[in-house]
Amino acid sequence: MKPWQSMKFWRVAGGAALVVSLAGCAHQGADVPVPAPAGVTTAAAPIAQPAVQGTVNIRERIALPPDSVVTVTLSDASLADAPSRVIAQKAVRTEGKQAPFTFTLPFNPSDIQPNARIIVSAAITHNGQLMFITDTIQEVINRGAGTQANLLLVPVTSVAIETAPATTSGAATISGAATISGATTTP
């Protein structure tokens, strides 16, 4: 045998032996239980994601249609000349439930800049039309605002809200013209 062939043989043989021994150790370590130190639990605890929580209520005491949708949005409104950037949003059918509604909006902390103006808003829609919206700015997270928000929604004036028929006893008559969202009606 030539000297370089002998060296090559030992390299290949040594490499094969190393692979076999490492493979054997890897399998062996998987079956060996390791006791946990005192006071330490072995189950992995889920990492809690921060969230904005609160309630959505409506100013008027009326029953919402059973298939209404409540949408709560967490957004960054830092730029005055641009639309808000949505950070988190959740839309839920009411399924006949009435206000107040509770919400939890998880968010990724890396989406929040330290000086950003983070706001939460809500809307209630029915058949794709807005019925109620927030009309005030509710800041959360930054500037000491915390992560709790209680939102009060007001009706959108261009949407007629169905109510129970009025009784004729004690009914008042209104005469003249009324303007609602730019539409003029006369009795």
Confidence at 48, pLDDT banded by 50, 70, 90? confident
Q: Per the structure, how many domains does the chain have?
A: 1
Q: Assess contact for 61 and 152: CB atoms under 8 A.
A: no
For 76-126, write each residue's pLDDT tens digit.
999 988 999 999 999 999 999 999 999 999 999 999 999 999 999 999 999
Query: What distance separates the 2 farthest-apart alpha carbons in the chain?
Result: 119
Instruction: Print the domain residue range for 94.
Output: 63-155
Tell me, yes or no, whether 32 lies in a domain. no
In this structure, what CATH number is given to the domain that contains residue 84? 2.60.40
| Mode of pairing for the β-strands spanning 129-134 and 148-155 | antiparallel
**pLDDT value of residue 87:** 96
Q: What CA–CA distance (Å, rounded) separates 166 from 182?
A: 25
Tell me, yes or no, whether 92 lies in a domain. yes
Phi and psi for 7 in degrees, rounded to 5? Answer: -65, -40
Tell me, yes or no, whether 47 lies in a domain. no
